[in-house]
Amino acid sequence: MVQTIPAKMPEGAIVSGVEKPWHHYLTLDLIVNVLSYTVLHPFVAWMIPLCLRAQATPYDHPSMYVTVAWASLLTVYGILGLINDRIAYGPPREVDLSEEVIVITGGASGLGALIAEVYGMRNANIAVLDVKKFSEDEAEEKGIAYYECDVGDPKQVEAAGKRIVEDLGVPTILINNAGIVHGKSLLELSSEEIEKTFRINTLSHFHTLRAFLPGMLEEERGTVVTVSSVLGHLGAANLSDYTASKAALLAMHASLEAELARDPRGQYIRTILCKPGQFSTPMFANVKTPSAFLAPVLAPVDIAKEIIRLVDGGRGGTIAVPLYARWIDVLGVLPAGLQYLVRRWSGVDNAMAGVNPSSAKKVGTEKKG
């Protein structure tokens, strides 16, 4: 839905008819992002001692010691970060979109659709696998090849894979994004619903990897994106099937990286793990974040731009946003009592209280963290 915002805003911004104060949009992530480009950036930090010298400040002045030490610390930290990424994910591979074939599952709506349309506008070779059927005119208009396919069915994935190779070429970039959620308690879930969640959220990754990874290994180039969720670490009430399916992806992705490391051709494959927080999608419109400051709700574009940045750069890595998602592993090493208090304070187990399960089922391919 596109909203029209007046050029001159009133005292509080108006979103969906509700006036919100300016500080509503002030988040921890925004503050850290601003700091990272200012006082926490090595280049900016080195400007301070240079400016002091321009004012004829002696080298032995305390201000020079402090500013040089601070700039040196940031520089060393940045270099260590680059070394860490190089060891963990290998050197970037060269990516030429004209020679790549990108496959996106669940690309009919939400995050997947946004990524597909961005690459479609850049004239890349895009293949979307989704149960939704698109007309040829719509596909041609967007520059995207749509393949009607239930990614939870290995036979359909295999058949779609063969058609993609014939139509576009060997896929070299795979973005596993498809997912559903039911929003029911464990006792309310039917066996069919549980199986469907795992077929689409988890088993689909196995099916697509079995279909497309061999081609990447033969081509000796490729990128695999696994879209999981921060809830895979946490679990949450009324999301037992969803969180379990996403937790399985965390282990599957780690195993994939381990197997690629054992294969000599695996050094040419880059892997990206995406574990975001809450998404602002229609089926979770009634979900309220416990803290807009510490845990802001993400727009699909927030994740899409990070995925596209790493894919275009031929890099591997982990995408964990908002900021708390980067440190969620720390929760697991805290004493059990403290973990209980953190969960109570965060409100994670009450987040689904306002969601209508029937509305969640209607939008099966949209994503939420």
Q: Which amino acids are annotated catalytic? A: 242
- Which residues are 42's β-sheet partners? none
Positive or negative torsion for Cα 361, 363, 366, 367: negative
Torsion of CA 366, 316, 43, 320, to 10 degrees: 40
The Cα 252–Cα 255 span in angstroms is 5
The Cα 76–Cα 325 span in angstroms is 25
CA distances from 304 to 2, 197, 225, 307 (A): 18, 23, 12, 5
Nearest to 308 by CA among 168, 131, 177, 204: 177
Across 13-58, where does the E strand assignment appear?
A: 13-15, 18-20
190: burial class by Cβ within 10 Å (0-12, 13-18, 19+)? exposed
> Is-contact 208 157, C-beta < 8 A?
yes
Strands 18-20 and 13-15: antiparallel
**Residue 346 token pair:** 């965060």
At 104, give phi and psi (nearest 5°): -125, 125
Supply the DSSP symbol for 350. G
Residue appearing with tokens 């995408």: 319
Percent of residues in the chain assigned helix, strand, coil, to nearest 5: 55, 10, 35
- Which residues are 128's β-sheet partners? 104, 146
